[in-house]
């Protein structure tokens, strides 16, 4: 066992002595300017309009002028959503905006 350790030390020291020096390092180029802020762009901001009718409240959500979903809250009952189904202008009724997608989470290691 001691002999194997001595051989390992001798081999690594021999490799370290024969390794060529690293190439000369060059400075990094200047960083590009940061992209413009999206938060300041009024065209990309979500626009929500709220309308109150006799028996319900309607909220319209628009992005860049395009209607993406509508939330209808009746005076009695549960609220529901009308969500845009593609670019053709059809809307689908949903009881929530939850898509049902569940990302699996497994415990791999525990310490």
Structural domains of the chain, ranges and CATH numbers in brackets = 46-94 (2.20.130.30)
Mean pLDDT of 45-60: 89
More confident residue, 33 or 51: 51
Flag whether pLDDT at 62 surpasses 70. yes
Contact (CB, 8 A) for 81 and 92: no
Tell me the pLDDT of the chain averaged across its residues: 77
Q: How far, in Å, CA of 100 to CA of 98, rounded?
A: 6
pLDDT, tens digit (0-9, with 9 covering 90-100), for 21-32: 778 888 878 877
Contact (CB, 8 A) for 73 and 81: no
pLDDT band at 13 (very low <50, low <70, confident <90, very high): low
CA pseudo-torsion sign 95, 97, 101, 103? negative
Mean pLDDT of 30-38: 70
Q: Are strands 66-74 and 91-94 parallel, antiparallel or unpaired?
A: unpaired
Contact (CB, 8 A) for 59 and 45: no
Lowest mean pLDDT of 6-10, 81-85, 96-100, name the range: 6-10
pLDDT, tens digit (0-9, with 9 covering 90-100), for 86-100: 777 788 888 877 777
């Amino acid at each position: 066992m001691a002999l194997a350790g001595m051989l390992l030390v001798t081999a690594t020291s021999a490799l370290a002595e024969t390794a060529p020096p690293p190439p000369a390092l060059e400075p990094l180029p200047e960083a590009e300017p940061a992209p413009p802020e999206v938060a300041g762009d009024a065209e990309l901001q979500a626009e929500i309009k709220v309308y109150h009718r006799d028996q319900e409240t309607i909220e319209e959500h628009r992005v860049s002028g395009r209607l993406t979903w509508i939330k209808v809250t009746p005076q009695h009952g549960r609220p529901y959503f009308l969500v845009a189904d593609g670019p053709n202008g059809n809307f689908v009724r949903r009881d929530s905006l939850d898509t049902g997608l569940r990302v699996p989470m497994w415990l791999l290691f525990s310490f």
